[in-house]
Amino acid sequence: MRSAPTILHLDMDAFFAAAEQAAKPSLRGKPVVVGGLGPRGVVSTASYEARRFGVHSAMPMGQARRLAPNAAYLVPRFSLYRAVSEQVMELLGRLSPLVEPLSLDEAFVDLEAGGTADDTASALAAGERLRRDIRAVTGLSGSVGLAGSKMLAKIGSEQAKPDGLVLIEPGTERALLGPMSVRTLPGVGPATGDHLRRAGMTTVADLAEAGEDELVRLLGKAHGASLYRMALGRDDRAVVSERDAKSVSVEDTFDVDLHDRVRVRTEVDRLADRCVERLRAAGRSGRTVVLKVRRYDFSTLTRSETLRGPTDDPGVVREAAGRLLESVDTTGGVRLLGVGVTGLADFTQEDLFAQAAADESAAAPHAPADEREREPAGAERAAGDGAAESGAAESAGGPAEAPDVPAERRFPAGHDVRHREFGAGWVQGSGLRRVTVRFEEPGSAPGRVRTFWADDPDLELSEPLPLVPAVAGQSSWPASRPKSRSESRSERDAGRSGGSGSGRARP
């Protein structure tokens, strides 16, 4: 525990939704929900306007639509979020060399290690400066907590939301924590909270009064002792700049249970390829391939195979996952599939490439990589000004467009486009071989809506634009880089269920 509040916790406010609102002026001030849009999708982020209707993270998307039927529902665009996150992390790196990212939009910073702050006044100045810099560089807001420990800094940022700063003076921890719910403390989820409630403990003060022995009796030695220390405001965890990942994995939930065994195998191959992409982006290889199958009755089976050595070869991972699939009964239907790699290393076992070639020649042929189904996207319903058209795009169940529309001419709803005459815009809806585009960009006024044929040669998909225009002589958009492990984990959690809506765009 520190005698000065020199540990900073930053949490960007409704990050995914706020980034979409900044990129799409017509959605500013409107309820926006980002997540998987299929029947089994869940909410990743809801704007504060949508939260007023009761929408929150991890809520089933169907329930969110019932609570806020007029909100804009968007699929995640991780290329945009990663670029903005890179800008934010660069600002944090200017404060200290010790930055611990937790996800794309959240991180701890040790201000003392960077010589940025050593007392209350300097820590407060650093926090306020960071918030101003984030607003100037990204156009978004972030909430900051400052304290003498990581736990309290995170609690401070939660209290500061949205767009605020809370500093917790060392020595005031117990008075601050006492009236708070036990769920405030890290490691106390619904089950533990309910267990403590039945024992008569609902606040942090109740835990402190119960004593360590009673908590150990209720929760076990490790958890009970840790919880007692936290109830007293004690947390001596250090800010670490790099945490070693134990595994890399991807998974998808399907709108409709899969019964076709060939389709299941195709999905496993696709997930294996995506898993290897993330593995290579992290500069790692792995030795154990893991297959996860959740069946129609919600029973979940996990199978694993350990290879002769670590690999990052997609053929090896595909074939290993395929062998694991053969041992699983999928006749009743599959609602979720996942492929992961554990036993990570920083090198590759070369002879596994020969193993991959041998396995592929012996195995039955599968669809080549360029013919496999694309990563699922979703649909968006925009809010406001009479332009709320439903869009349809590819889903886990196949393309929503007409089958004769080539893949390169499909426009996922919410994605950026550019027209030769009208300039930059975003796909508000697509279907029936038409594409409805709202022509606007960050910093502009809400734009006009136009509809085109999907094969219009003047209309092309484009990369996201910077949320804040570049200063003369400087680039406001970071160079592309591989995803960090924390970012890959965030992306997996947020985008695991990208289904599609249905509807049509009227010309």
In single-letter form, the type of residue at position 220 comes to: G
Which residues is 289 bridged to in the sheet?
A: 305, 341
Annotated active-site residue 106? The verdict is yes
Both tokens of 204, joined, read: 């942090």
Which residues is 139 bridged to in the sheet?
A: none
Both tokens of 497, joined, read: 């269920």
CA gap 75, 377 in Å, rounded: 7
Distance of CA 42 to the CA centre of its chain: 12
* Sheet strand arrangement including 423-431: 448-453, 434-439, 423-431, 416-419, 459-461
Which residue among 20, 49, 100, 106 is the active-site one? 106
Q: What is the residue whose two structure tokens read 């999708």?
A: 41
Both tokens of 422, joined, read: 């009208």
Q: Which of 250, 290, 288, 298 is nearest to 270 (CA)?
A: 250
Both tokens of 336, joined, read: 């979720």
In single-letter form, the type of residue at position 331 comes to: T
3-state secondary structure of 45: strand
Alpha-carbon distance values, 268 to 53, 124, 305, 374 (Å): 38, 50, 15, 13
First to last CA, the chain: 63
CA gap 16, 13 in Å, rounded: 9
Distance of CA 72 to the CA centre of its chain: 18
Active site residues: 106
